[in-house]
Amino acid sequence: MTTLAPMAPHATQPQGWFARTEAWLDEKGKGAWIAAMVLGFIFFWPVGLALLFYMIWSKRMFGTSCKTRRGARRMMMTQSTGNSAFDAYREETLRRLQDEQENFEAFLDRLRAAKDKAEFDQFMDERARNAAQDDDADDGEDDTKGK
């Protein structure tokens, strides 16, 4: 049987009023952010507008952030279930999946690079073709002027 010990907060330097307010609103959830934004619009519209832009920029407006999901996933991966065989299997599976993800991302990078190179080569070929056609047209005009 395993027990979950509460995580102690990291000891950091004292937070300013903005960081404390942000943490408090994050604890209360998305509704608190929206309420603060609406109140900002009601009392002084630039404050509401600033909160709206901040919510969009920090991705608080659209669901949970990746940081939260990543932290929850990391916490799940490090907790022991108490069954050593399952824990070993899970660690091996997660390692294999991580390797597959890295390989797939590398493949996508190579694919994007090949596509970019092909598009650039096509652009350079068209440019050379257009330059050659312009030179031929200029040579043809010079011949008719000389006669």
What's the confidence (pLDDT) of residue 44? Answer: 84
109 residue type, one letter: D
Q: Is the pLDDT of residue 135 over 70?
A: yes
d(CA 95, CA 2): 23
The pLDDT assigned to 66 comes to 47
- Range with the poorest average pLDDT among 53-57, 83-87, 108-112, 140-144: 140-144
Binned at pLDDT 50, 70 and 90, residue 19 comes out as confident
Identify the residue whose tokens are 């669901």.
Answer: 63
The pLDDT, as a whole number, for residue 74 is: 64
pLDDT at position 107, please? 94
**CB neighbours of residue 60 within 10 Å:** 19
CA atoms 36, 61, 101, 75: torsion sign: positive
Residue 134 or residue 117, greater confidence: 117
This prediction has a pTM of 0.38
CA distances from 124 to 13, 95, 113, 114 (A): 56, 43, 16, 15
pLDDT in tens, 119-133: 999 999 999 999 888
pLDDT at 10 over 80: no
Q: Is the pLDDT of residue 116 over 90?
A: yes
Please answer whether residues 100 and 106 qualify as being in contact, where contact means their C-beta atoms are separated by less than 8 angstroms.
no
Span 57-79, pLDDT tens digits: 887 666 555 455 556 666 666 77
- Model confidence at 35: pLDDT above 50: yes
